[in-house]
Amino acid sequence: MPYRIVQSKQNVRLKDLRRVLAHPGRDSRSLAGGSSLALAGIEGPNLLEEALRAGLRISCVFVAQGAEHLLEELALPAETEVLQVPKEVLDSALSTETPQPVAALIEPPSWSWADVLVSRTKATPLIVVLAGLQDPGNLGTILRSAEAFGATAILSLPGTVSAWNPKAVRASAGSVFRLPLLETSVEECFSRLHEAGVRIWTTAVHGAEPADRIDLAGPVALLIGNEGNGVPQALAELADGAVTIPCPGPVESLNAAAAVSVLLYEASRQRRGAR
């Protein structure tokens, strides 16, 4: 596998990597490399392998000197640009406390409303709507749980952290590469879901139906709010109903990622029983 040796922190591709990791989700046309495509940064050979398995285009791979063996078992396309970089130079571009010796610029998947409402497996819609979720670790965990329990898509409303935040990508363990995810406005989100016959359940602690007593086997969307304030009242009023998770222990509520995981498990359980 041919490498191009890079010694300078000012290399344009390293600048691109540094920028997309620091400001995930922004339009990439301002990147130093002059790309007209949206790019995301990922760290580590495992995530790179997951991106390849998902069929994503790898724009550029960075490997620290001495770690070239980590790429040997990866099926990188022959045309992939691979830069060999001194470890301290690569570390300076990465965002983690313990930087990985491999990183990459990738082209994220492009999803549409058709992907959200009609899954590749023709499954009944089970959609998670994120309204102001701020913790990238929570978002990544939600993506992973959503894929594990058969959710068909994620919708991200304004104010929600980018799914391409490095911490979110790591916590998703590759689910961000495969699960349809669409950023949308509140107006379009609710109108599209209602037009498609998807029932929207907002999450609440009080005044809501227990999850095991409502129908989650049909077309449903789960509305998840901010970690501290929950779903804004204005959005909750647009939902078709409210769902809660009864907690017999001395804890009033679960955090966002745990709550979504429990609700998705319940939906998965109901759907298995409905077959």
Ordered alpha helix ranges (H), the chain: 12-22, 45-53, 87-93, 113-117, 136-148, 166-172, 175-178, 186-195, 233-236, 256-274
**Of 187, 197, 56, 185, whose CA–CA distance to 117 is shortest?**
197
What is the C-alpha to C-alpha distance for residues 200 and 198, in angstroms, rounded to an integer?
6
**Domains in the chain with CATH codes:** 4-106 (3.30.1330.30), 113-274 (3.40.1280.10)
With pLDDT > 90 as the criterion, what percentage of the chain qualifies? 79
Q: Which residue has the tokens 């005044």?
A: 207
Split the chain (275 residues) into runs of 10 and give each run's mean pLDDT. Answer: 88 94 69 60 96 96 96 91 96 89 95 91 92 96 97 96 95 97 97 97 89 95 91 94 89 86 96 78
Q: What is the pLDDT of residues 21-51, one digit of tens each?
A: 998 976 544 444 444 458 999 999 999 999 9
Please state whether the predicted TM-score (pTM) of the whole model is above 0.85. Answer: yes
Residue 223, pLDDT score:
97
Q: What is the pLDDT of residues 209-246, one digit of tens each?
A: 999 999 999 999 999 998 888 899 999 999 999 999 98
Residue 26, pLDDT score:
62
Cβ neighbours around 255 below 10 Å, total = 12
Radius of gyration of the chain (CA): 20
